[in-house]
Structure 1
Amino acid sequence: MHRLAAGVLTFVSAALIAANVCSAERWATLPAFPPMPAAKTSGMAPINDIQMYYAEYGEGDPILFTHGGLGSADVWGYQIANFLKDHRVIVADSRGHGRSTRSEQPFGYDLMTSDYVALLDYLKLDKVTLVGWSDGGIIGIDMAMKNPEKLTRVIAQAANVTTDGLKADVMTNKTFSDYIDVAGETYKKLSRTPGEYDAFVTQISAMWASEPAWTADDLARIKVPVTLVIGDHDEAIKLDHTEMMAKQIPGSKLVILRDTSHFAMLQDPEGYNAMIRDAMAGR
């Protein structure tokens, strides 16, 4: 073979191998949060016993994005930028998270779900597609059970319905530990009580110790269309738990995102957004 041609083939092969390695290992890193687009409206809504931060973008059929534990609405920058082009996008900080306040009332998924239901009423929204990640996905499932009239569909990524759906070694995982560190720094920047992160974590950890605790009968009563999503390298949620959920929620669909982890919306935003659009189209 001509030496130049051989060199080119070697270069191309090396590039392909490198690309495959990068693709296969993207699940092992926590990308930086993207910049947030400029909001059309934002504010602090008086919800239950807290002040809840929210922001709205774009126009069209409404989509509510609900974030995970210790996080904030700012995790959704890639999704907001995509969906504001043809949808009314709503994001919020769950109670105690980000810019929203918390009270002495114990955390619970029913309480957090009631916050989001009240926010939809505050914004005069009848029904939304809810895209939830981790705790946000659990809130979506809770709402599907308790307030189905508020939902067009639920797309729940990395959610669990019992505490044994969590992996025992999640806190030893570097990517997940990196997220906890980033969440702490973000809390200090956004929160009205920047020095109370440890107190907040202690308060919400009491909820995580015992919730959620739903039964197969609870899940069987869900009538809202549900798409259950998990990355094939999720650090926190067991795949077989998600598969069990898909069997117990009537008509639900299971989607496994390739080469992603608990943080798929950051690791593969293009694929994540396509997944949402497919779910909304019933595919």
Structure 2
Amino acid sequence: MQRNNKNTTYLFVFALFHFLSSIKGDNSTVVNSEYPWLRLPPTPQLPYPHHGQYAQINDISIWYTIYGPKHGAPILFLHGGLANSNYWGLQIQQLQNTYKCILMDSRAQGRSSSSSANITYDLMTSDVVSLLNYLGVSKIHLVGWSDGANIGLNLAMHHPGRLYSLFAFGANYHSSGGNDASIPPIFVAYLKRTQAEYEAFNANKSYEILFNDLLTMWAIYPNWTKVDLGKIPSDLPVWIVDGDHDEVVNREQPDTMASWIPQAGELILPRTSHFAFIQEPTRFTTALEEFLAEVTKTTACSNYRFPR
């Protein structure tokens, strides 16, 4: 059953928006704690060297980079809202010797450009499909965090033929899925950090505009139902994954999604939050490797092309 806390979510969004102007003076973005779920470690770096490139698609420039063996099974990593692909650095370090790892910065975020169109999950899903077409990749395993996981779910509903599997971490099916109207210190630090990172990548662009655009989307999307998520094919491997102390998404969201998606698995990572992949990277990446090992045993990965 959907938890009815949409008003709480709006309060959280409102508080975040008005909090933005107060975070510029303090540059502290690393949060330490004896409890892993309360930590925000430094943003990882992508392995060196990385050859970031731009694809001109859907009237914008999408930044992407690729690691790994040319004929490895392709995995697309999608970051969370306001972030960038660097956040996957620890996972890429571990997986790049086995898998073809593709990373992209979502539209208007990281190093990718924006357009006048409103940001939506449908539009960002279209960007993913267009990038895959640009690269000549027919199918992928998709690993998504937060907004990236929501894009993955949207892809699974509307373009399931482009996916071998989906590992969706920190997703939500409804905009009412926020935990409460408070702003935890770890998320305060995340806002400060993503602002600094965005401004380093985009000297002449406004983080506040991006922030407002995403808040507008988060206030109303996603709004999927059991019928929507039930469209995901039962033979598409899906894991719904979250941290047991997620400060952004309440537990009802992954529990419900896992029950609505045919044959989906659910994994709750202990002692972690919405940032599990940097709080407990070994635990997170081991779970991801187990998932990929399981699905690649039963999924033929022979029909993808990688001409570049």
Task: Tell whether the structures are fold-level matches, with TM greater than 0.5.
Answer: yes
Root-mean-square deviation (CA), in Å? 1.5
Q: In the alignment, what sits opposite 1:218? A: 228
* Deviation for aligned residue 1:177: 1.2
Work out whether residues 45 and 87 of structure 2, in 8 Å CA contact, stay in contact via their aligned partners in 1.
Answer: no
More off after superposition, 41-50 vs 137-146: 41-50
Structure 2 counterparts to residues 101-116 of structure 1, below 5 A: 101-116=113-128
Matched residue SS, 1:131? strand
Percent identity between the two aligned chains: 38
In structure 2, what residue type is equivalent to 1:187?
Y
In structure 1, what residue type is equivalent to 2:189?
D
Q: In the alignment, what sits opposite 2:283? A: 271
The question of 1:185 aligning with 2:196 is answered yes
Work out whether residues 125 and 151 of structure 2, in 8 Å CA contact, stay in contact via their aligned partners in 1.
Answer: yes
CA distance in 1, matches of 2:204, 2:39: 29
In structure 2, what residue type is equivalent to 1:213?
N
The question of 1:36 aligning with 2:46 is answered yes
In structure 2, what residue type is equivalent to 1:244?
T
CA distance in 1, matches of 2:45, 2:99: 19
Matched residue SS, 2:176? helix
Q: In the alignment, what sits opposite 2:249? A: 237
* Deviation for aligned residue 1:74: 0.7
Work out whether residues 43 and 54 of structure 1, in 8 Å CA contact, stay in contact via their aligned partners in 2.
Answer: yes
Matched residue SS, 1:34? coil
Q: In the alignment, what sits opposite 2:303? A: none
* Deviation for aligned residue 1:190: 1.1
Q: In the alignment, what sits opposite 1:174? A: 185
CA distance in 2, matches of 1:40, 1:190: 16
Q: In the alignment, what sits opposite 2:154? A: 142
- Structure 2 CA distance for partners of 1:42 and 1:78, relative to 1, 3 Å: same
Work out whether residues 154 and 225 of structure 1, in 8 Å CA contact, stay in contact via their aligned partners in 2.
Answer: yes
Runs of 4 or more consecutive aligned structure 1 residues displaced over 2 Å after TM superposition: 38-42, 191-194
In structure 2, what residue type is equivalent to 1:30?
L
The number of equivalent residue pairs is 260
In structure 1, what residue type is equivalent to 2:45?
P
Q: In the alignment, what sits opposite 1:48? A: 58
Q: In the alignment, what sits opposite 1:15? A: none
CA distance in 2, matches of 1:192, 1:46: 20
Q: Tell me which of the two structures has the higher relative contact order, counting C-alpha pairs closer than 8 angstroms and 6 or more residues apart.
A: 2
* Deviation for aligned residue 1:205: 1.4
User: Which of 71, 74, 81 lines up with 2:93 in the alignment?
Assistant: 81
Matched residue SS, 2:241? strand
Q: Deviations over 1:91-116 (max 9, x none)?
A: 01000001100011011100001001
In structure 1, what residue type is equivalent to 2:67?
Y
* Deviation for aligned residue 1:33: 1.2
CA distance in 1, matches of 2:33, 2:255: 25
Unpaired runs of at least 5, structure 1: 1-21
Q: In the alignment, what sits opposite 1:205? A: 215
* Deviation for aligned residue 1:207: 0.8
In structure 1, what residue type is equivalent to 2:177?
G
TM-score normalised by structure 2 residue count: 0.82
Unpaired runs of at least 5, structure 2: 1-31, 296-308
In structure 2, what residue type is equivalent to 1:216?
K
Matched residue SS, 1:281? helix
Q: In the alignment, what sits opposite 2:104? A: 92
Work out whether residues 137 and 156 of structure 1, in 8 Å CA contact, stay in contact via their aligned partners in 2.
Answer: yes
The question of 1:128 aligning with 2:140 is answered yes
Q: In the alignment, what sits opposite 2:273? A: 261
Work out whether residues 85 and 105 of structure 2, in 8 Å CA contact, stay in contact via their aligned partners in 1.
Answer: yes
* Deviation for aligned residue 1:191: 2.2
Work out whether residues 39 and 57 of structure 1, in 8 Å CA contact, stay in contact via their aligned partners in 2.
Answer: no
- Structure 2 CA distance for partners of 1:23 and 1:181, relative to 1, 3 Å: closer
Instruction: Name the one with the larger helix percent.
Output: 1
User: Which of 285, 292, 300 lines up with 1:280 in the alignment?
Assistant: 292
In structure 2, what residue type is equivalent to 1:214?
W
Work out whether residues 142 and 167 of structure 2, in 8 Å CA contact, stay in contact via their aligned partners in 1.
Answer: yes
In structure 2, what residue type is equivalent to 1:56?
I
TM-score normalised by structure 1 residue count: 0.89
